[in-house]
A = this chain, B = another copy of it.
């Protein structure tokens, strides 16, 4: 959520000369996405009509070795008509280049805004977009292990530590340990897997009114249980920011929207309550780790891990009724 690498305008202009996009007209560092440096840039355009792009420099959080997977995925989805911004090849055909000693890509700008309090109509459209994405990846040939998946949660909890978890909320360590064991024991390993977005929060869906105009920030995309993607989405969309449930119509609309473009088997539907608990554990743990390891006075926003604790409690208490 910051610009980590300052790119001098002259260096940026040189970099852009490698593409058929005209000359640099404007460049603003933007505060969004995971730990990358992003610039919203405008050029005169290949046709002189003006064009806009996001220039992304990949900082340490995104492994360089994963970039070909991400970029091929964006291309695949864009080619199938999904509102996903493809990265541009330069004049030599390269998509992943180097800028300021970091891997860098020039990505098409998409209009649309990220809603903070989605309506049911917006949730329906977003669920439908996820279903369409899952259809489109059915023939995608690449895969990537989920480095924030089930197998990693015990380790993440250990790295947060007993003292750290107790500082967030007394009793949290014991409760998380017990819940994690339970979720691991019942995890539905036999459900269909595919490439998933794994982080389709409202932040990562661009909309104009009730239309989805963009699905962005695929840097957690990986191979995992397909319907886990919908569980992650539910845990991110169906609650108010403080972790209390929003209007139940939101969660219902997400799933109804998904079903307009992708089927859900009985087994997938039955697994949603447990997968949603898993999604809460994953985001609670990554937020807890950041919370414990970020100085309180640092000028980055620490996301409250307890918001996910409240969601987790709600899923545990509500069970199947959460997805009725």
Contacts and interface: CB of A to CB of B under 8 A. Distances in A.
Interface in A26-46: 26-32, 40, 42
For this chain, the copies found in one complex come to: 2
A104 B25 CA distance: 26
Contact of A31 (B30, B114, B300): B30
Nearest to A112: B26
Nearest to A40: B28
A216 to B, nearest CB: 12
Instruction: Classify chain A: how many residues form its interface, as a range.
Output: 35 or more
Interface stretch (A88-96, A126-134, A151-159, A291-299): A291-299
Residue among A31, A112, A208 with the highest chain B CB neighbour number at 10 A: A31
Given A10-B115, A25-B112, 4 more contacts: A1-B3, A11-B116, A28-B31, A42-B111
30 contacts: A1-B3, A2-B299, A8-B116, A8-B117, A9-B113, A9-B114, A9-B115, A9-B116, A10-B116, A10-B117, A12-B113, A13-B113, A25-B111, A25-B112, A25-B113, A26-B109, A26-B111, A26-B206, A28-B30, A28-B31, A28-B32, A28-B40, A29-B30, A30-B40, A40-B40, A295-B295, A295-B297, A298-B299, A299-B299, A299-B300
